[in-house]
Amino acid sequence: MSQVVASMAGSVWKIVVAVGDQVEEGQDVIILESMKMEIPIAAESSGVVKQINVQEGDFVNEGDVLLELE
């Protein structure tokens, strides 16, 4: 199982995958907004989205687990 974590603090602007989706390494899965900039967060490995731990609009800190892949 692999986890996708926030690379910096910010608000979850958009979640671009759903539970059960197949994702590839390097594919954007969540877009954060911080300091008026959009920061795409990519999967570091391929897999299937098992769980999404955040909702659009949530504030996250650096290192928070955003979603889990299996």
Residues 6+ positions from 20 with CB-CB distance below 8 Å: 48, 49
Domains present along the chain, CATH in parentheses: 2-69 (2.40.50.100)
* pTM of the shown model: 0.91
Across the range 4-10, mean pLDDT stands at 96
Across the range 9-28, mean pLDDT stands at 97
Tell whether the model's pLDDT for residue 13 goes beyond 90.
yes
Across the range 16-43, mean pLDDT stands at 97
Quote the pLDDT of residue 47: 97
Convert the pLDDT of each residue in 30-69 to its tens digit. Answer: 999 999 999 999 999 999 999 999 999 999 999 999 999 9
